[in-house]
Amino acid sequence: MLSWLRRRRLPETAPELRPPVARRLAGDAAGNRIHALLDAIGLPWREPRGRLAERHGTGRHPAYTQTVIALPTDPPLVPGLLWPLDTAVWPDAPPDLPPISFSSACWVSPDPEENIRTAVAALSAALGPVEIVASSGLRRAEWRDGAAAITLTTWREILPPPREPNPAHLREPRLAQACHIAIETGFRRSLSKRERDWLAHAVPLAENPSRPAPTLEALLRRPAAEAMLEFARLPDPAMAPLLDQISRAPATEALIFCQGQFCLVPAERIENFCVERLLPAKGSGGATLLARLSPARPGWLPPVLTLAGDPCPDGLTQLGERLAAEFARPCEISPYANDV
């Protein structure tokens, strides 16, 4: 039962993983039990990716082909780890932001069920009880707290064996029976002082036609994709009046909107707007409003953010033109295409 947890004294809260919204919006990090567990084992999940690479180096994963940053922890997350927790290296990852996902695998027995039971028993001391859900040959257990999650997965060996052996299993045969561990931290940056001022004096431009507008509670539980991490912010009460609006900061310094995540995009990053129009065909048709941005660094892929959707093919044309005028940027209105 992970005696080290008693020594590190994780917060003694009930197994329920959702503290009151007000406490969570106040930034009560101790209320997130997954974050508390990662802190207890010494995983530097808040540190920028660039600093982690400098300190720990990068290398090829022992079983897979990608380059990773390996992050040994003391104590290990669960018994029987085949390798330390690691995070993948990818070319366009901002070095000044932390990675948001980590993974490993544990093996204590040739029996996949024993491997996942061992991992569940180790983590339940900190995260509370969880059910192992069986579906066909898959066994899965998951804890979620806010936007953070730890997922354990095992697979029964397939009989007859596949025609092409899994190359990773050739490099590490135990991987076929191991319990695979996936961690999502749900990290998003908090609002800066300047961004709070933007929100306090924001100028609404239009209601976001995407419905329904998300709540702060829903945003708390929704992790941001790595590609949005530059612009997504941790939910905060200051955002509440703007959740259903597309707005701009004073002096048009930034675009402010909520579509999956609450985002603030500096105006200098906006290259143009685009309205894609689809006519009903096999699909129902509609329109999507996009903001095309300049890359954070030369040679990186330019981000494209979805600002809004509308079921009518012409439902976002005026909004796209309004944003283009406000930010003095071009707006491309695409030709109609069939939604196939």
- Radius of gyration over alpha carbons of the chain, in Å? 23
Q: Give the Cα separation of 178 and 162 in Å (integer).
A: 18
Say yes or no: 20 and 110 in one domain.
yes
Say yes or no: 155 and 258 in one domain.
no
CATH number at residue 206: 2.30.29
Say yes or no: 309 and 243 in one domain.
yes
Say yes or no: 119 and 145 in one domain.
yes
pLDDT of residue 299: 87
Q: Which domain holds residue 283?
A: 193-338
pLDDT of residue 17: 36
Residues 143-172: pLDDT tens digits?
999 999 999 999 976 555 667 788 888 898
Beta carbons of 37 and 83 less than 8 angstroms apart: no
**Torsions phi, psi of 270, nearest 5?**
-80, 120
Mention every residue, 6+ apart, whose C-beta is less than 8 A from residue 39: none
Say yes or no: 307 and 279 in one domain.
yes
Say yes or no: 108 and 197 in one domain.
no
SS3 251: helix
Say yes or no: 272 and 318 in one domain.
yes
Residues of the chain with pLDDT below 50 are: 1-29
Where is the domain boundary, 160, 184, 208? 184
**Strands of 86-88's sheet in order across:** 59-60, 67-70, 86-88, 101-106, 179-184, 148-155, 138-145, 133-135
Say yes or no: 141 and 236 in one domain.
no
Say yes or no: 15 and 119 in one domain.
yes
Q: How many domains, the chain?
A: 2
Decide: residue 293, CB within 10 A, 0-12 exposed, 13-18 middle, 19+ buried: buried
Where is the domain boundary, 136, 166, 184? 184
Say yes or no: 146 and 217 in one domain.
no
Overall pTM surpassing 0.75 (yes/no)? yes
Decide: residue 206, CB within 10 A, 0-12 exposed, 13-18 middle, 19+ buried: middle
Among the listed residues 302, 296, 298, the one whose alpha carbon sits nearest the alpha carbon of residue 95 = 296
Q: Give the Cα separation of 188 and 230 in Å (integer).
A: 9
Say yes or no: 173 and 225 in one domain.
no
pLDDT of residue 160: 59
Helix runs in the chain, H state only: 3-8, 21-25, 33-40, 49-56, 112-127, 167-171, 193-200, 216-220, 317-327
What is the pLDDT of the chain when averaged over all its residues? 89
Beta carbons of 70 and 99 less than 8 angstroms apart: no
Where is the domain boundary, 141, 158, 184? 184
Nearest 5°: CA angle at 183, between 182 and 187? Answer: 150
Say yes or no: 37 and 121 in one domain.
yes
Q: What is the identity of the amino acid at 306?
A: T
